[in-house]
Structure formats: structure tokens, C-alpha cells
Structure 1
Amino acid sequence: MTLSLAAVLAEPAWRQPDKTAVIQGAERLTYSELWAQARGQAAAIRELGVQPGDRVALMSPNVTDFPRSYYAILAAGAVVVPIHMLLTPEEISYILRDSGAKLLIAHCIRAEDAVKAAALAETPVRLVGPVPDGAVLPKLAEDVARVEPLTTYTSRQAEDPAVVIYTSGTTGKPKGAVLTNLNMVMNATVNGFDALNTVREDVSLGCLPLFHIFGQTVSMNTNFRLGATVVFQPRFEPDEAIDLMLEHGVNTFHGVPQMYLALVQAGKARRAAGKPLPKLKIAVSGGAALPAAVLEAFNETFDAQIMEGYGLSETSPTATVNQPRLGARAGTVGHTIWGVEVEVARAEVEEAIEFVPHGELGEIVVRGHNVFAGYLGNPEATAAVMVDGWFRTGDLGTKGEDGFVTIVDRKKDMVLRGGFNVYPREVEETLLRHPAIRDVAVIGIPDEVHGEEVCACVILDEGAALTAEELIEWSKEHLAKYKYPRRIEFVSEFPLGPSMKVLKRELRDRFAG
């Protein structure tokens, strides 16, 4: 069966050619304009020797260059390898070599590092964006000017790779998760037409990094699949985000918990100053567990309910989400999306899938059209997570008889204190109720007596005063004896990964001594 992710942009380009597809700064592009520009780049990519099935790396912020080059690569029949913007040249070159990329397309704001990384990996490079006049740099626009645009996209098979997403590498070298055309098209289609009730009249704020699967699928591909409009914000900043929502009538927001926390702070300040706030039809959270205190504060500040969902790079990403038609329940990640199964298996049994009864804690496993084709060139890593056709997520959770799925924590983040399991998310949810705490991350650190001890890394609200002893005493009143943190570390900020997840490994390394 032929199927290409490129069709997600090609279809609305002929169905509604004059509809605005993207807004970024002063630039507005209709669907027909964006698709024409993508076909122009696709022809240039083919002239550079890229063949169907080849992999092409793309490094760009959330500007129109990202979708233009993303769909150009797909239209040429090639596979997109997104690279996040904060990597060093050495890290970029690793991905280029590991993926076997035949070309690197990079935004000019990373020109120097892109050229260096490409040289290290012996990979051709072309720059997009406003390259300074007179600069002796390889510009893709010059290649585009020499060729005629492709008439349409190159045909691909549904099971052919479309995108290779590299994991953040928190446990060693990053691995490339291979996502097929079927994975990506189905996730965008089911998200838009079924799970989230998106319509073509909606306007979404695209502030999630597009090199990450959440932003790529939910913010970009899902909206394009429906013919909606996306307003890009190159770098998330809460006050600017609110301004963009008000200016462009944004009614849909997708974000990670750190973004919602920042929006709550900015929204409260605006409301206190008598300034308007946007009216949101739907807000979707993913990428990490959303603390109940943040959800409640956002609902109160913006008068909008957050629909929390769940997924991973290996699941394209959406596996479950709170869906308007099925009802939402705070503290859960909702129901499975259409065509996907999510169950709970015994975490201690790794060689087979043994399901646990409803409501019992275990490892979340996923099966369906969203599950990836495996890790690129790494059959051992693939075999470790794919068992009996199910993808083992490494997340612990429960599933109720009513189908609601709840994520408790990552297996690797669980703290084993004195023989008792302590789940950091539960402790974090409790500590976030303290009026002086803005954010918290709970980790386990080595302890000679108990094996591991519970440590809370805390960011205080501006102007708040709180001692470690006071917080420990408060915790004793709200948590079981084996759960409350015996160690408190006050920090000004958390180390964040490319998808704004807290890097707990770095916190453990910092405070384990």
C-alpha cells in the first residue's frame, strides 16, 4: 500500500490552497505557498543526489523553514532525521554518522556548528534561512533556483520509514527510533479527527520544539492534516506566548508541564494587572507527568481544562489522551486513541507479557499502528523493548475497568528505600501543594542504611522563604513515614532536556555525593 507523510501537507494545498497554514513573525504562508516551496526544495534535494529511502538530517528552530524543509525531504521520498538545536557539533556529527544521513539541512543561526559537524561526519550540508549576503556558505536556496519544482511527492510504502527520532540519550548514546509513514499519518489523523476534536478553523500555538515528536506530530502534522493554522513561536517565552495567542486568536495550546507552570505564573501577573488572557478551546499536556497542582492553577487562571495525554517517541507519540467525547479525569492520561491498545503487564517479568488485573500496578505496554519499526541499526535494543508484539515503555502505571490509564512513574526513577517502593511523582504532587514551592523534582540518592534515600530538589516561589527543616516537618504531616524526603536541596532551576523534561540523572549526579 502506498502512503506518504508528505500527503499531510499536499492534501490541504489543493483542497484549501488559500487557507493560512503557518504564521511566524511577519511571515504568513498559505497551504499552496508552503507546498510549492517544499516541492522546490524537494527537487533541489534530489539534484544533490538524495534518493528515495535515504536519510536527510534537519536542524531548525520553530520557524517556517522547518515545515518547508521537513515536507521537502518527505516529498523527495527521503527520511527526515530531526536534530535538536542545542547539540554540540560533536553530538550532531554522531547523529549524522549513526543515521547515515546523506545531507544535513540546517538553519543559518547554527551555521558555524552545522558546517563543523558536517565536516566531522563527512556529510554534505546546505543552509536555510536568512544567510547573510556575501557569506561563502552552501545555501539550499541556490540549489532550488537551478531546478524546477517536483510536480508531486515521490510515492512511498506505508511501512517505509518516514522519520527517525533520536532519543535524548539520558541513558547512554542516543538511539534512532524509526517511525513509518503509517505511524506518523495515523497518529496525526486519529489525534485530529477523533481524539482532540480539532477542526480546520482552529488556530494553534506551535511553541513545542518541532525536532521533538510531540511538537512535530501534535502541533504541526495534526493541524496540517486538518487544514488548521499554526502560529510558530521559535523559542517559548510565556508572556510572548500569551501575546501571540491574543494577537492571532489562538484557541489551541499544546505544551509540557514546564510550559504550563510558566504560563500560570505569567497569567496570574497579567490578571492582577487587569490585562486580558486568551480564550482556549483546548489545552493538551504531554511529554512528562503533569502535577495536579499545576493543572488546577491553569484551569483557575485561564478558565480552560487541560487534557493530559501520554506517549513516547517510539509511539509516534500519542498512545492515550483525555478525550472530550470520552470524558476527562484529572490525574490520569485518559483513554487509548483509536486503533491502539494500552495494557499493564508485570514489570518484573521481562521475557514475556503477563497482564495484571485492572487497577494493579505494572509496566505500561502498547500495541497498535503507532508503535515504531525499531531502533535504527540496533536490533538488540529493539528486541529488549518489543515483546510478543507489545512495546514495553518502561513506565509504571494502572488501568481501571473504565479504561482510564494512570501513569505512576518511570521504572528507573522509582526509589527503593528500606525495601519500600517510593514513587517520585507521588511525592512531587504532594510537595507542590506547599504554598512556597514553585517546582520540585524528587530523586533517589545512595544511602548506607536504607539503600536509597528520598531527596527533593526544590525551586521556591519568588520572594518565598522556607528552610529544609521546615519542609521536612511539613512533609511528615502529608506523606507516609517511608515516603517523605529526608534531604532537601534548594535550586534556582532544573536541567532540562530538549523537550523540557527535567533531567533527573543530572540531579542525581550532582547530589549523590
Structure 2
Amino acid sequence: MTNLAERLDSSASADPDSVAVKLDDCTLSYGKLADAAHRLARLLTDKGLKPGDMVGIMLPNVPEWPICYYGVLLAGGVVVPMNPLLKEQEVEHYISDSGARILLAWHEAPGQPATGAKDARAELISVEPVAFAQTLAGVLPLPLVERDESDLAVILYTSGTTGRPKGAELTHANMRKNADLFSQEFLKLTPGDVVMGCLPFFHTFGQTNSLNSAIFAGATLTLIARFDGAKALDVIERDKVTAFIGVPTMYAAMLAAGREKDTDTSSLRLCCSGGAAMPVELLRGFEERFGCVIIEGYGLSETSPVASFNPPDGVRKIGSIGLPVTGVEMRAVDDDGKEVPQGEPGEIAIRGHNVMKGYHNLPEATAEVLSPDGWFLTGDVATVDEDGYFFIVDRKKSLIIRGGYNVYPREIEEVIYAHPDVFQAAVIGIPDDNLGEEVGAAVELNAGASVTEEELRAFVRDRVAAYKYPRKIWFVEELPKGPTGKILRREVTYPGGDV
């Protein structure tokens, strides 16, 4: 029997006075973090939460996030992380689909947690720092509730080519082993380390590689609620950050800010990048400017997330996502599931302790990507060299990565289709120097339609999170289609110019 949150208790017992989480002048010791989490566990059970019940968490990267996260886990609950930017319909889907009975939401969430929770008949607990602390002070701590390794710890919602987000079921073993591996084998964290917590914790990358990795090691996690390159450099200098984990756009923002200001970043000993391919010029420019090596890796929500990484103490191949991590197998396969010859492109398949149980309440969708013998098909295409290093060459899925955030075309297309003037639409990623990719939409209107580009943009903006709506919309007479009439998204091109 085990529970992911046991690792918080272990770190708190080892040194209760050391700083666990920091946000500028606000600090939270390990002892206080554990105490608050155990009190929240009591509050949740008093509200009827039982082991295995789902609880939504919709907060930015603030100290209350780990309190809520570990509090839910300590009570035996399952965490359903949610972007605080989500709108009413999105919130309602996450809650209804997961079956969450309670939503812990930031009091100033720019999204729409209250209406979404109400629509899904879930109880909303507003998290305002002062009032939240007072509420927790009024209840007694609850002892940790034991869970089995195969029990669910987190449901991470990720879309695909089918539209609405699907819940990837991750177990206590999935999350614990992945964080242990990253914390010890790659970051080699100790209680004296300071980890930058700028990746959003509602995403698996930030949750495993920053939050859990730091807490498991008893290190300090210093937060940035909203990422800014100049702010990140200031925090690195102020808090003597030793490990930075981020996406390429974050490195680009810091490099740009670093050209304008002189910051002491000598405390950095290792940087890790994932979420999207790192441009070689960016990697070399960052390393030359700040004198810190960046190692690249690869993973998905469905793999907890780490599947491969360039070894920090071995050969690093620039442009590669590295080698499979300990306990994980990877191979490139053809459409029949057979491994392709060395150097030939094939879909990445993954098997190991990091692979999800399946998609929540979606057995057919699970069967499409997860074989009976445990191989998960990622939808990403790669080649493998003579040393076993993987190189991404294409995405089989049409995922758009905008500033580190995943945007799935089908989900946005469904919203566009809801407009009465729209006949058909295709959403694609457009290369962008700052964000990596921007969201664009080619739209075929109904005959006689009068909607403008700005009106359609506003229509979508009102219905999805701010990072998802298409900044670029253009109208076409006809979308490219294949023999069966299927829209060929890969043949849609952006005409250029300001839209």
C-alpha cells in the first residue's frame, strides 16, 4: 500500500523548518505545508469525500496549489488539475466527465469556475489565501489514507484528434516513480537545491518535473505565478536557483531578457527542456549567454510524462529527445506495430511504469492507443540512430503547441462549427518566433454569410481558454479535401500578413 503524498510527509519529518515553497516574499515551510495539506484532507472528508473520489484543482502556481494537491491525495482522493483560464463549458466538461464532486478554485481565477461547477453540480471551494488559511486552522489534521500503487492519483485531461479532452488516468505508482526518476537520476536533487516552479502545475510537466521532484527531494520550489523572462532571471539571481525546468519559449524569453540586463545566473547547474522541440540556435545561444547546459527530453500526459531524456552525465545529442529512461521501453513502429529499420521514420511506442491505465470511461479510445501488452502509441513520428537516440521528425497528431500550451485543432474546430455562418473549418499551427506556434483557422462560410473575421474570433474567444482561440482567421472558398471528402488539414496553408 502506498500514497504519493507520503513523500511530502517524509520530507516534512526530515526538516520541518526548511522552505518547501516560495512565491516572492511568501514562504511555506515543509512543516506548514504538510500541516495545511492534512487539514485540507480533513475538510474534504468532512464534506463527504471518500477514497477514489475526484476533486478538481483550478489554481495558478501559488503556494496553495501544493496544499490542495497533497491535501486531496492525503484524503485518498484523485486530483483533476485544471487550467485557471478555462471557460464555463470547459470547466463543466472536466467536472462532469471526471465525476468530481468538489472544485478547489482560485478566488481570482480569470476563467469561469463558479458557473462551470454549478452546471456540473459540484461544490465550489474558493481559495483566497487569508480566508483559506483561517478555514484550515479550524479543522484537525487527518492522518494519511493508504492507497494501492495501482489506484488513481491524477486524471490529466488531454485532447487528441477526436475533439473533447480525454482524461488520462495516472496511478500513484506512475506519478511517484516518474518523479523519483527525474529528481534523482536527472536533476540529482538534494535538500539544498532550489528548483524553479514556472511550469504550470495543472500540466503533467510542471506537476511531475517541478513540484513532485522538488518536494520528494526536500528541496525548495520557488514559484512564478505568470511567466516573464526578466522576472525569471531576477528570481534565479535572488533565490540562487540551481535547476530550471521549462519549455523552449521560456528559454527564448530569458535569452531575450538577458540581452537587456546583466543577471547573476551562476547558481544554475542544470536546465531541462521539453514540451516542444528546442531550436538549435536557441539552445546554443542560451548556453553561451548563461553558461548552463540544457538537456532535452520527451514525454506526454499519458506517460506521466517523462519517457526519454538526453543523459546529463552521458552523451548529449543536440536535436534529439534522448534515450528511454530507466524502466521504460521505446521503439519506432509502422502502421502494423512492427519496429521499423534503424533510421527509418516510425510512430513512437512506449511501454513501462510511466504509461497510464487508460482514458477515463473511454475504453474504445484507450484500445486505439494502448495495446494489450502495454505499448502506448504516441502519435509522434521519430527516427532512431545507431546509438538508440530518438529524433522527432513529425507529429502524427495535429497538436499545436502555443507557448508551451497544448491546443488540439479538433476541439477548436468544433467551437467554430457552432457558429451559424460557418460551413467548414480547419485549424492549424502557424510558425511564430515568440510562441513557437500560433493558432490559425481557415474557414469556409455558408452561402450569403456575413460574419467578419473579428466577429468569429470573438465568438471562439468567449468559449475557450484565452490561449486556445485562433488569433489568425482567414476565409477560403473551399477547403482542401481528399477522395472521401475528408478535410486535408496538412494541405491548409496560411496566406500570411496580419489577420
The one-letter code sitting in structure 1 at the alignment partner of 2:191 is R
Instruction: Report whether the alignment pairs 1:395 with 2:394.
Output: no
Pick from 153, 159, 179 the counterpart of residue 170 of structure 2. Answer: 179
Q: Secondary structure of the equivalent of 2:365?
A: helix
Pick from 149, 162, 166 the counterpart of residue 153 of structure 2. Answer: 162
Q: Distance in 2 between matches of 1:267 and 1:111?
A: 30
**What root-mean-square deviation, in Å, do the aligned CA atoms of Structure 1 and Structure 2 show?**
3.0
The one-letter code sitting in structure 1 at the alignment partner of 2:122 is T
Q: Secondary structure of the equivalent of 2:250?
A: helix
Counterpart of 1:148 in structure 2 is: 140
Counterpart of 2:207 in structure 1 is: 216
Of the structure 1 ranges 113-122 and 388-397, higher mean CA displacement relative to structure 2 is found in 113-122
Distance 1:50 1:500, change over 3 A: same
Instruction: Report whether the alignment pairs 1:376 with 2:360.
Output: yes
Please state how far the C-alpha of 1:142 moved relative to its aligned partner: 6.1
Q: Secondary structure of the equivalent of 2:168?
A: strand
Q: Distance in 2 between matches of 1:512 and 1:111?
A: 33
Structure 1 residues 35-82: Cα deviation after superposition (integer angstroms, max 9, x where no partner): 011001110000011000000000110000100010000000000000
Counterpart of 1:73 in structure 2 is: 72
Please state how far the C-alpha of 1:124 moved relative to its aligned partner: 0.6
The one-letter code sitting in structure 2 at the alignment partner of 1:12 is S
Structure 1 residues 70-96: Cα deviation after superposition (integer angstroms, max 9, x where no partner): 000000000000000111122111111
Counterpart of 1:287 in structure 2 is: 275
The one-letter code sitting in structure 1 at the alignment partner of 2:169 is V
Structure 1 residues 190-241: Cα deviation after superposition (integer angstroms, max 9, x where no partner): 1111133222221111000010000000010011111111101000011011
Please state how far the C-alpha of 1:400 moved relative to its aligned partner: 2.1
Q: Distance in 2 between matches of 1:505 and 1:312?
A: 27
Distance 1:14 1:457, change over 3 A: closer
Counterpart of 1:342 in structure 2 is: 330
Q: Distance in 2 between matches of 1:96 and 1:380?
A: 21
Counterpart of 2:456 in structure 1 is: none
Structure 1 residues 284-337: Cα deviation after superposition (integer angstroms, max 9, x where no partner): 001111111211111111111110010000000000011222321111111111
Instruction: Report whether the alignment pairs 1:325 with 2:310.
Output: no
Q: Distance in 1 between matches of 2:465 and 2:388?
A: 31
Counterpart of 2:216 in structure 1 is: 225
Counterpart of 1:511 in structure 2 is: 494
The one-letter code sitting in structure 2 at the alignment partner of 1:149 is P
If the length of structure 1 is used for normalisation, what is the TM-score?
0.78
Instruction: Report whether the alignment pairs 1:29 with 2:28.
Output: yes
* Superposed counterparts of 1:89-238, under 5 Å: 89-110=88-109, 113-130=112-129, 143-150=135-142, 152-168=143-159, 171-238=162-229
Q: Which runs of 5+ in 2 are unaligned?
A: 402-408, 410-425, 436-460, 475-488
Counterpart of 1:472 in structure 2 is: none
The one-letter code sitting in structure 2 at the alignment partner of 1:406 is F
Counterpart of 1:433 in structure 2 is: none
Distance 1:126 1:142, change over 3 A: farther
The one-letter code sitting in structure 2 at the alignment partner of 1:285 is S
Pick from 338, 346, 357 the counterpart of residue 362 of structure 1. Answer: 346
Q: Secondary structure of the equivalent of 1:247?
A: helix
The one-letter code sitting in structure 2 at the alignment partner of 1:62 is N
Distance 1:256 1:370, change over 3 A: same
Counterpart of 1:412 in structure 2 is: 397
The one-letter code sitting in structure 2 at the alignment partner of 1:166 is Y
Q: Secondary structure of the equivalent of 2:4?
A: coil
Does the Cα contact within 8 Å between 1:270 and 1:277 map onto a contact in 2? no
Instruction: Report whether the alignment pairs 1:314 with 2:305.
Output: no
Q: Distance in 2 between matches of 1:89 and 1:374?
A: 26
Does the Cα contact within 8 Å between 2:42 and 2:75 map onto a contact in 1? yes
Q: Secondary structure of the equivalent of 2:112?
A: helix
Counterpart of 2:236 in structure 1 is: 245
Q: Distance in 2 between matches of 1:47 and 1:358?
A: 57
Does the Cα contact within 8 Å between 2:430 and 2:494 map onto a contact in 1? no
Counterpart of 2:290 in structure 1 is: 302
Does the Cα contact within 8 Å between 1:242 and 1:278 map onto a contact in 2? no
Instruction: Report whether the alignment pairs 1:20 with 2:9.
Output: no
The one-letter code sitting in structure 2 at the alignment partner of 1:72 is G
Please state how far the C-alpha of 1:143 moved relative to its aligned partner: 5.0
The one-letter code sitting in structure 1 at the alignment partner of 2:253 is A
Q: Distance in 2 between matches of 1:250 and 1:293?
A: 24
Of the structure 1 ranges 499-508 and 89-98, higher mean CA displacement relative to structure 2 is found in 499-508
Of the structure 1 ranges 78-87 and 103-112, higher mean CA displacement relative to structure 2 is found in 103-112
Q: Distance in 2 between matches of 1:391 and 1:264?
A: 36
Q: Distance in 2 between matches of 1:222 and 1:393?
A: 24
